[in-house]
Amino acid sequence: MNSVNTVQAALFPPIDRIEAFDVLPEQFEKQNIVGFRNADTRARPFKLMRSQIVRQMEEREIKLIGVTSAAPNVGKTFVASNMAAALSRIADFDVYLIDLDLHRPAVAGRFSMETEGWGIHDFLSGEQPDMGQIARRINEERLVVVPGYRRDVATGELLTSAAGTSLFESLRALPKNSVVIADMPPIFADDDAVIIGQHLDGFVLVVEDGKTTRKQVQETIRLLSPTPFIGAVLNRYRSQLFADEYGYGFAYGYGGYY
């Protein structure tokens, strides 16, 4: 076994061996997690997004996808969580949702997890080297969540540490039928998003109607270059001409959004 696969085997147990975390339907509803619900019309944009992402995965062999925004509070964790949920409903597809917004981790809350516990910060700092103690499989879904909890740490140093390198190597070495969704920090928060972007195969940008500017979109794409820009999610869309009735949609490529 080569060194990368050895790292992967040490960090991530097979998905069927990862400890399950039970989330009730009412908890999904409270946290606006609709991506699992194939019959729910609110899941429609995420199913469309899923189809386009799967197509690009097949055409470009991408595995690690980041979700970011120019500024905070535009719904990127909501989008990342529902994207991961929708992708996990594809047969024989294993999805790993990892919270890499180290300053403001929010994925655990979306899945009604504990407010404190072992998280990705603890792996990166060496406090908890066993990823099996951190990762949780959601119910019986093919979705694994790697949560984060707030820590007073130097996040850039953690991401560029040996543990950070091992983390990205292990994600890259996951089985071929796996996809990783990384909830990234906002691009202008600090340099964490740029560091993370160097390890990704592509990224999705969440923009808010009436708030995110053209200049911010352009600068985000420039800062994350050469990581490919997969597309933009337009959240809280107010226009009645093209708006999804629930307030979000998906566009592919820069020209698709503006």
CA–CA separation, 113 and 123 (whole Å): 18
The total number of structural domains in the chain stands at 1
Q: Phi and psi (nearest 5°) for 233?
A: -100, 120
Task: Provide the residue range defining the domain that includes 120.
Answer: 3-257
SS3 252: coil
Over residues 9-61, the pLDDT tens digits come to 458 889 999 999 999 999 999 999 999 998 888 888 888 889 888 888 888 88
pTM of the full structure: 0.88
CATH of the domain at 149: 3.40.50.300
Distance CA 244, CA 108 (A): 27
Q: Which of 212, 192, 240 is nearest to 69 (CA)?
A: 212
- What digits encode the pLDDT tens for the residues 208-249? 878 888 899 999 999 999 999 998 888 765 443 334 444 455
The alpha carbons of the chain give a radius of gyration, in whole angstroms, of 17
